[in-house]
Structures are given as C-alpha cells and as structure tokens.
Amino acid sequence: MDAALDALSQRVGAFLAARGWRLVTAESCTGGWVAETVTATAGSSAWFDCGFVTYSNDAKCALLGVSPATLARHGAVSEATAAEMARGALDHSDGDVSLSISGIAGPGGGTPDKPVGTVCFAWARPGATVQTATVQFDGDRETIRRQAVIHALEELLRRAT
C-alpha cells in the first residue's frame, strides 16, 4: 500500500479506536479496496468489523437488503442505493459506523446522466440520518477507484461525529 493510503488508514484507525467504534464497509466499484486499505493497518481488528463487496444488484439485495424498487427507480449508482447499502451494512454486522460506495469506474458503463467517474457514497451510524454524496472523479479506472477510497475515508473522518 502506498504511503498516502497507509497514513489515511492510520488516521481512521485512531479516530475509530478513540471512540470505541468498529467500521463496516459496503463496496461496489471499489471491490473491497477500502476494506483492504484499513486491514493493512496492524491492529485494525480492534476497529474494523467486516466488509461487503456487493458488485451485482442481486448481491446488494441479498446481502445488504437494498430494495429492488430502489434499484429500479434510481439505479445502482445513486445516493438512494448507497444509503441503503450503508444502512444494510450496519444491520448485517456488529459495526458502529458504515460507509458505502457505488459508482462507474469505467472505462465503459457511463451514460450522459451518469458518466464514467460518477461515484455515490453514504455514511451511517445507528439511529442517525444516513449522509450521502455524489462525486465526479476524473481519470482511468484505477485512478477513479483510488480517489473513491480516499474520499470515502476522508469523509468518514469529517462526517462521523
């Protein structure tokens, strides 16, 4: 892992450990990269519970409880789906805080409404309103995915209060 991701993971770990929280992730376009980043940090078992890689819509429904109606109405790459992924990750784990990511990393798959680089995020805590965001990243597939990992973790530090 590169130094920037390592440093970010260390910050996330310290943040979560100080609060006694355990993180759970629900990832689609990043394919588990957030979970890999945080578990590369020694001692992460104290603050990381588990990660769900739900690439297909069927997996989003079966493993996280995402509503097929939400997917039909908004699509997999939407704040509505990301919110249900984040909430479902909490509901199906022992996590205290969750983050989710669903996007179009490319090189194909984009549309005029949702071009390549569109990534939707959500962050959730039990009993709190799920926070969501959509970001448009530039670059190739790996660059978009890496930016999504960084954004998800940096915003976790900012939003999880």
What is the DSSP-derived secondary structure letter of residue 127?
T
pLDDT for 42-82, tens place per residue? 999 999 999 999 999 999 999 999 999 999 999 999 999 99
Where does the pLDDT of residue 161 fall: very low under 50, low under 70, confident under 90, or very high at 90 and above?
Answer: confident
Please provide the average confidence, as pLDDT, over all residues in the chain: 97
pLDDT, mean of residues 119-137:
97
Residue bearing tokens 């109405």: 73
Query: In the prediction, which pLDDT does 1 show?
Result: 77
- Which of the four pLDDT bands, split at 50, 70 and 90, describes residue 111? very high
d(CA 148, CA 44): 20
Torsion angle in degrees (nearest 10) through CA of 67, 76, 85, 118: -160
For residues 133-145, average pLDDT = 98
Residue that has been written with the tokens 């530039």 in this structure = 138
Q: What domains sit in the chain, N to C, each tagged with a CATH number?
A: 3-159 (3.90.950.20)
Give the H/E segment covering residue 25.
strand 23-27
| Dihedral angle of Cα 75, 78, 84, 90, to the nearest 10 degrees | 130
| CA quadruple 152, 38, 92, 156: dihedral sign | negative
pLDDT higher than 90, residue 121 = yes
Range 30-52 average pLDDT: 98
Give the integer Cα–Cα distance in Å for 109 and 123.
Answer: 25
Q: For the whole model, what pTM was predicted?
A: 0.97
